[in-house]
Amino acid sequence: MKTITEKEEVEKNALAEEVQAASMTGSPVARPGGNKPKPFSRQVLMAEAKDYLFITFGLLVYSFGWAGFLIPNRITTGGVTGISAIVEYATGFPMQNTYVIINIVLLVFALRFVGWKFCLKTIYGTIVLYLFLNLLRALITNRYGSLVGDEPFMACMIGAILCGVGLGLAFSHNGSTGGTDIIAAIVNKYKNIPFGRMTMLCDVCIISSSAFIPDYTVQKVMFAFCTLVIVGFSVDYVVNSVRQSVQFLIFSKDYEQIADAVIARAHRGVTVLDGHGWYSKKPVKVIVVLAKRSESNNIFRLVKSIDPNAFVSQSAVIGVFGQGFDKIKA
């Protein structure tokens, strides 16, 4: 019979073997008491609060685009909000009520097929959008009608840009308004159909169905397709602007001073590569720096103060993930 000391030694050796095996396979190590999840830190909670703040503001802008421009001019677009607008134009039933009813049905399916994590911010987005649509329609639509008068083209342009900017702010902070996003997520889980293509197919079908609304002209259908395109471009612009970073390639004989200055004063990581100048036939050091676009002027000033003759190349980079940048969301 082993003594307690021998038993502890055996367990220690077994755990060491597990750690070594896990480091080779990448699997987690099972420890006594289980792998307990880490508690939420203040930094995580602040990041979540920031996400919800921007999602809320984005949905306010989105609702303003609908209430002030699209609804008074009877213009629709894709998504569940588009379906809800079509129902209102055809029957008079308020679009915000239809929007909530459809999303409740879709969320029931989503909880079953894609899980609660996907649905959490979708539920929040649905509730907030419903409240904002009710509020802004009472303050704007019911009192003033269209904010650009009888100018459907201007309403289409301004309303679409506002909707796109609002959605972009929400999407760039992991928000969702539900609707066709849920349909696309469910289909994408079981069928090999890209998420974006499924969403676009749903939107085209929704807008095309608006042609069956009584007294709904072909011109309004064309405005709806224009709105869809402008919203898409606006969303991409906002999302890419939030995530856009820059990459510097710096060639200088004073590369050590520049690298130290970037780390100490710009607080960005630096990688030094070995290069070879083909014209001069001499070895050269290349400094690589990734930074936020807003930090580019500061880095240029640092380089100029150390070596005014340095050769600097700056290029736009979309989607830099890791320490100091966005978290990997794959």
CA distances from 233 to 167, 196, 240, 320 (A): 11, 14, 10, 21
Q: Is the confidence at residue 19, as pLDDT, over 70?
A: no
- Confidence class of residue 30 from pLDDT cuts 50, 70 and 90? very low
Amino acid, res. 118:
F
- Could you tell me which residue, 5 or 304, shows the higher pLDDT? 304
> For strand 282-292 and strand 311-318, is the pairing parallel, antiparallel, or unpaired?
unpaired
**H-state helical runs in the chain:** 4-25, 42-65, 79-91, 95-113, 116-136, 142-144, 152-171, 180-190, 195-209, 218-243, 255-261, 296-306
Query: Which pLDDT score, from 0 to 100, does residue 15 have?
Result: 46
113: CB partners within 8 A, 6+ apart: 186, 189, 190
CA distances from 2 to 6, 7, 15, 16, 257 (A): 6, 6, 18, 20, 62
Query: What is the average per-residue pLDDT within 191-209?
Result: 75
Q: Which of 69-73, 170-174, 224-228, 241-245 has the lowest mean pLDDT?
A: 241-245
Q: Is the confidence at residue 28, as pLDDT, over 80?
A: no
Query: Which pLDDT score, from 0 to 100, does residue 2 have?
Result: 43
Q: What is the 3-class SS of 205-268, one letter each residue?
A: HHHHHHHHCCCCCHHHHHHHHHHHHHHHHHHHHHHHHHHEEEEEEEECCCHHHHHHHHHHHHCC
For the chain, give the percent of residues with pLDDT over 70.
77
Query: Which pLDDT score, from 0 to 100, does residue 26 have?
Result: 42
Q: What is the pLDDT of residues 233-282, one digit of tens each?
A: 898 888 777 667 889 999 999 999 999 999 999 889 999 999 999 998 99
- Confidence class of residue 25 from pLDDT cuts 50, 70 and 90? very low
Q: Which of 120-129, 145-154, 194-203, 257-266 has the lowest mean pLDDT?
A: 194-203
Q: Any idea where the domains of the chain sit in the sequence?
A: 42-242, 252-318
Beta pairing partners, 317: 245
3-state secondary structure of 100: helix
Q: What is the pLDDT of residues 53-109, one digit of tens each?
A: 999 999 999 999 999 999 999 999 988 899 999 999 999 999 999 999 998 888 887
How far apart, in Å, do the first and last CA atoms of the chain sit?
Answer: 51
Query: Which pLDDT score, from 0 to 100, does residue 68 have?
Result: 94
pTM for this one? 0.69
116: CB partners within 8 A, 6+ apart: none
